[in-house]
Amino acid sequence: MRKTFALASVVVERVFDGLTLIALLAIVSIAIQLPDRGREVELIAAAVFLGASLGLVVLLWKPAVVRIPLKRAVEVFHGGFASWVEERFEAFVDGLAPLRRPPVLGVAAALSVGVWFLEGSSYLLLSKGLNLGLPSNLELPALGLALVTINLGIMVPSGPGYVGTQEFFGTAALGVVGANPQAALALVVVSHAVQYALVTGLGLIFFAREQLSPRDLRPALAEQQASL
């Protein structure tokens, strides 16, 4: 599968995630008075993901709006660079093509909401084994705030597995509502460990199914580094 084609699915998944998280943050902000910085994050994230959504809509329905100026911008370069850019742009647009079908778009949106509902449910279940020190009417919005803050926070460049990054953003979000610091850290650490084990385990299962091992990625990674 062409890398640019695959990249399109990753971009779409990130945009769907971002829009769902922003919607959740808007709901949470009704129950929790966000600090000024929280409001800024909400507005910036909304602008980023709504802008990305608009860009996807343009690429889906009017790709010529981007294709024509892109072609003019790269045609000044000599050699095969212009062709290389145009080929990858077309592959990226092709990767978005399934979203032109309303059923696919609807199912993708529903799955995105479902995924975050399940992750939020895992936070809620884990919280039952801890004393966060929050009023019962504030616990669910606080966990929603932690979910949003963590997943917006780990979108920035971070270490492998988001180690440290996830804990920082999760405890910071729960600290805003006055949660017990030790219980908040325990909640985030346990949740992170469960997610890491589950995702890594599933990855290894699919590697085995395809009769691959992680070291089989080395040639592709070396090729990618050489092309940079």
Amino acid 38: pLDDT: 64
Give the integer Cα–Cα distance in Å for 48 and 52: 6
Amino acid 192: pLDDT: 93
Per-residue pLDDT of the chain (228 residues; tens, 9 = 90+): 777 778 888 888 888 888 888 888 888 888 887 776 667 777 787 888 888 888 888 888 888 888 888 888 887 776 678 888 888 888 888 888 888 888 888 888 898 889 999 999 999 999 999 999 988 888 999 999 999 989 888 877 777 888 888 999 999 889 888 899 999 999 999 999 998 999 889 988 998 898 887 777 777 666 666 655
Amino acid 225: pLDDT: 60
Amino acid 7: pLDDT: 83
Secondary structure (3-state) at 92: helix
Give the integer Cα–Cα distance in Å for 127 and 147: 13
* 151-159 contacts, C-beta under 8 A, 24 or more apart: 151/17, 151/21, 152/18, 152/21, 152/41, 152/45, 155/14, 155/18
Amino acid 224: pLDDT: 61
Nearest partner of 111 among 45, 12, 195, judged by Cα: 12
Give the integer Cα–Cα distance in Å for 56 and 54: 5
Amino acid 66: pLDDT: 87
pTM value?
A: 0.78
Amino acid 33: pLDDT: 78
